Structure 1
Amino acid sequence: MNPFRFNCVTHGYGGYGSGFNKLRNPNDVFVDSIGNIFISDYGNRRIQKWNVNSTGQGITTVGGDSNFDPQGIFVTQQGDIYVSESHIIDSSSRIVKYSSSLNSLTKFAAFSTTDLGMVTGIVLDQCDNVYVADYNKHQILKFNNNSYVGLTVAGITGKMGTNSSYHLNRPQDVTLDQYGNLYIADTSNRRIQRVIVQDGSGTTMMETIVETTQYVPKSIAFDSKWNLYISDSNNHRIQRYDFKGGDLYC
């Protein structure tokens, strides 16, 4: 007998569409601390929210217009929604913030093609600093709280690399552990990279924690128990790496 049992609830029914119960080419998903589900509904240019235990229609919380191209999504404990956007037509990128208290959408940061390539994954730390994966420029950028200046914290801007732990090659996602260390889906290098911030001085160290020749990691996330989940596109699977206790991530 299989000891694991799951109930599957699907959001988005009967193929793609623009109704509140449908999706079109969703890019990312985020589950908040109480179980509400937020989906980056790229094809419909919106962020859809399904309240916890809902099996019906979603609610459009952000977007729904022709100027919104959502990629990654992150929701804070206060309910503010951060979205990374990359526009295919003019190759521009930006980060937008939806304030739940003000019920308004503001441009957190905007970039020309000379500043940023294509932003995909996004995550915030406990101090509301923003980290984004820049797919085209092979880097992870950090924006300190309320700052519009991005700092490269992993990779070398505009330079892909395959033979060094300090290079990235088209990273698609980034997340943080409980100690503030970065985990990166270094997609075209077929590996997961970890960036350890050692002493707060800005010194970083990158190391490979997962790597195989047939590996194409595209998304990465921790659960509430700090088990690590990775979507492996090439092998059509989700992998879980269990946290066994101790100070594994420092």
Structure 2
Amino acid sequence: MFCLDQFKHITEKINELQLDTTRIISQREVLMSSDQLKSETIRHDQHAPISGISIHPNAKWKQSGQRVAGGNSSDGDKFHLHHPHGFCVDDNQVLYIADSTNNRILKWRCGAMMGEIIAGGKGKGDGSAQLNRPSDVIVDRTRSNLLICDYQNRRVVRWRLGDSTYGETIISNIDCHGLAMDKEGYLYVTDYKKNEVCKYEIGKPDGILVAGGNGKGSRLDQLDGPLYVFVGRENSVYVSDEQNDRVVKWKTGSKKGVVVAGGRNRGSGLEQLSEPGKIFVSPWNAVYVADWGNDRIMSWPQEATHGHVVVGKSRRPKVDGTLSGLREVLKVEGIKTSTRAQITAKTLAIFGRFDIPIAIGQNTGTRDIFEYEWAQNYTLDQFQKDGGIIYENGEDALLNEMQKANLDNIYNVIEISPSTSLGHVLQHLNPELLKYIRLFIMAGSVYYGYDNSSQPSKEYNIYTDISSAQRIFNSSWAYFGLAPLDTTIFMQFYGSLWEKFYSYRNQNKYVQLIIDSYTIWYNNGGKHYGALKPFSPENGTSIMYDVLAVFLAASYPSVSTMINQQLPLIVTSDGFTKINSTFGKPVNVSVAFQTKDPYISTQFIGITVLESIIMSP
């Protein structure tokens, strides 16, 4: 969704401009102006219309916006957007939006109710009339062209403005993500996998290296996942170096860059960034950056050691505030349970396990999960035709199964999602049966929170449905094992362990399905999830929160890798899990790992899990 504060043009004198609180927000990046946005003398610059605009250092920023494009749905019509990425704005306040998952570019006029498809929109593909996950777009007004990063097709394409029939590839075999143009009309393109930025003369396929190009790394002559690029004064290049959590400035001809924002490890402090996205640099060399992982926009004055938050006040602001972090978006939108079921169906089909039924639980929202695209070619109907069993009412199916529990038939229930369905089942289940049911659940936060914060967090699986979570914690289970954020935050598999697993992708169909679905999840937005260690399909996983709960269930009653505490826990009305000796029921909480370095234990768990997949018959 994009938001844009109301524009106000106030002419103070010739060639001076003031815009009133202009702010454009997408899922990943924000470009904004202030209520004291003044220009110096603005040259009529065809290539860099924004370069003459400066933001007053004492500008005050409104903390809410007005929607100008898209809405609450991800449908593929011209009223809606689905994972919008890069965008640009022309002098007439017309938005050009890379509507990534819909594989198209939309032109959205100020005040319009819907957009106009001006490139792509003919399905995902690599034809001249198609796009595949476009990630950025700019307008070359001199030549009346759109220039588009066609991310998944690994190309930069040129489309004539006013002609949406087909595009022309001008740069091939490039993992492009961001575009910029200088005042001479040269094109700058980030290459996410080569970790470099190159400068191109339009019409020529080979570029000149201007940033990075020395392999992936954190040295000042290296980049790690460059996303967006901005060309400033004297053609200095500013790069959002995503995995290094910094913005780096490269002067023309320099062999290395200078950190101008962040670069002090990933975090939420004013001296830190977390996965920076879109950037803008004022003529006063103040850097404005969409600090995606922290749900905020920051400004960094020239040579400053820390930035200022200009939009977004807290680490995880509320949805009705200025920005909504991914976890808060999930709280509101939720994920369609049917799409999870379809992914499960395809996975079971590949494993040949049609004997395992799929029960569809309560929807917590309408959003498709990021890797849904991987399963689109295998429907639930096909799963049933192949011999699989689908229970449309998952709660009834779960209730029927749990009612079979007895002394000779002990059940293990693993809960790794919001607790809505299980909470509803407990309203109808005879509580006497719970003494024959063990519960293993990934939920809550006892001593430490997200990002290994020293303060507990409201964990997603709890606060999505607080009343159901309270019902679960108030029940008397035969055994209640809890994997909270305290330990699950470290569940990342990487290094030689992951390299070995990844090497089997062309030899083992089970490994292949995991890598394929993971790659789609990563490219469709998963790569922007916060994590303690950088990750990609090639070098490691994101945080595998749920794996620990599954591992605890599979290894029960052994807890040799964990430090367990039996704690009386309750779920509070605002979604926290807290120790309460008066009202809390005993919960076996995996609060820490046996090893001083938690990653030693998680890699042991990883060996157990990943090798079991490799060795599957």
TM-score range normalised by the length of the shorter chain:
0.7 to 0.9
CA, structure 1 residues 15+193, in 2 after alignment: closer, same or farther (shift >3 Å)? same
Q: Distance in 2 between matches of 1:206 and 1:12?
A: 37
Which aligned pairs between 1:99-248 and structure 2 lie closer than 5 A?
A: 99-100=160-161, 105-111=167-173, 116=174, 118-156=175-213, 159-162=215-218, 164-197=219-252, 202-211=253-262, 212-213=264-265, 214=267, 215=273, 216-222=275-281, 228-241=287-300
CA, structure 1 residues 161+205, in 2 after alignment: closer, same or farther (shift >3 Å)? closer
Of 34, 37, 46, the match for 2:92: 34
CA, structure 1 residues 10+223, in 2 after alignment: closer, same or farther (shift >3 Å)? farther
TM-score if structure 2 supplies the norm length? 0.35
2:97 counterpart letter in structure 1: I
User: What is the deviation of 1:220?
Assistant: 1.2
1:25-52 superposed Cα distances (whole Å, 9 cap, x missing partner): 111121112211011001111000111x
Partner residue, 1:12: 70
Give the greater-gyration-radius structure (CA): 2
2:107 counterpart letter in structure 1: K
Q: Distance in 2 between matches of 1:14 and 1:225?
A: 37
Query: Is 2:107 aligned against 1:49?
Result: yes
RMSD between aligned alpha carbons? 2.4
Q: Distance in 2 between matches of 1:234 and 1:167?
A: 22
Partner residue, 2:567: none
2:87 counterpart letter in structure 1: V
Q: Percent identity?
A: 21
Partner residue, 2:158: 97
Q: Distance in 1 between matches of 2:71 and 2:203?
A: 39
Alignment length, in residue pairs? 226
User: What is the deviation of 1:147?
Assistant: 1.1
Which aligned pairs between 1:41-80 and structure 2 lie closer than 5 A?
A: 41-51=99-109, 53-65=110-122, 66-67=124-125, 68-69=131-132, 70-78=134-142, 79-80=144-145
Structure with the largest fraction of strand = 1
CA, structure 1 residues 223+20, in 2 after alignment: closer, same or farther (shift >3 Å)? farther
Q: Distance in 2 between matches of 1:44 and 1:74?
A: 18
Q: Distance in 2 between matches of 1:195 and 1:219?
A: 17
1:105 counterpart letter in structure 2: G
User: What is the deviation of 1:75?
Assistant: 1.1
> Relative contact order (alpha carbons < 8 A, sep ≥ 6): 1 or 2 greater?
1
Partner residue, 1:248: none
Query: Is 2:75 aligned against 1:23?
Result: no
2:188 counterpart letter in structure 1: Y
More displaced 10-residue stretch of structure 1: 33-42 or 214-223: 214-223
Q: Distance in 1 between matches of 2:254 and 2:285?
A: 24
1:94 counterpart letter in structure 2: R
User: What is the deviation of 1:137?
Assistant: 1.2
**Contact 1:9 / 1:55 at 8 angstroms: preserved in 2?**
no
Helix, strand or coil at the partner of 2:243:
helix
User: What is the deviation of 1:106?
Assistant: 1.6
Structure with the largest fraction of helix = 2
Partner residue, 2:146: 81
Q: Distance in 1 between matches of 2:135 and 2:61?
A: 32
Q: Distance in 2 between matches of 1:22 and 1:101?
A: 21
User: What is the deviation of 1:13?
Assistant: 1.9
CA, structure 1 residues 10+86, in 2 after alignment: closer, same or farther (shift >3 Å)? same
**Contact 1:229 / 1:238 at 8 angstroms: preserved in 2?**
yes
Q: Distance in 1 between matches of 2:92 and 2:283?
A: 11
Q: Distance in 2 between matches of 1:72 and 1:207?
A: 25
**Contact 1:33 / 1:77 at 8 angstroms: preserved in 2?**
no
Helix, strand or coil at the partner of 1:179:
helix
**Contact 1:127 / 1:145 at 8 angstroms: preserved in 2?**
no
Q: Distance in 2 between matches of 1:143 and 1:4?
A: 36
1:80-124 superposed Cα distances (whole Å, 9 cap, x missing partner): 21001122xxxx41110112276662211212xxxx3x2101111
User: What is the deviation of 1:130?
Assistant: 1.1
User: What is the deviation of 1:238?
Assistant: 1.1
Q: Distance in 2 between matches of 1:75 and 1:226?
A: 23
Q: Distance in 2 between matches of 1:20 and 1:102?
A: 17
CA, structure 1 residues 48+124, in 2 after alignment: closer, same or farther (shift >3 Å)? same
**Contact 2:225 / 2:243 at 8 angstroms: preserved in 1?**
yes
Gaps of 5+ in 1: 244-250
TM-score if structure 1 supplies the norm length? 0.81
User: What is the deviation of 1:60?
Assistant: 0.5
User: What is the deviation of 1:218?
Assistant: 1.8
Q: Distance in 1 between matches of 2:204 and 2:98?
A: 24
1:117-153 superposed Cα distances (whole Å, 9 cap, x missing partner): x210111112221111111111111112321112221
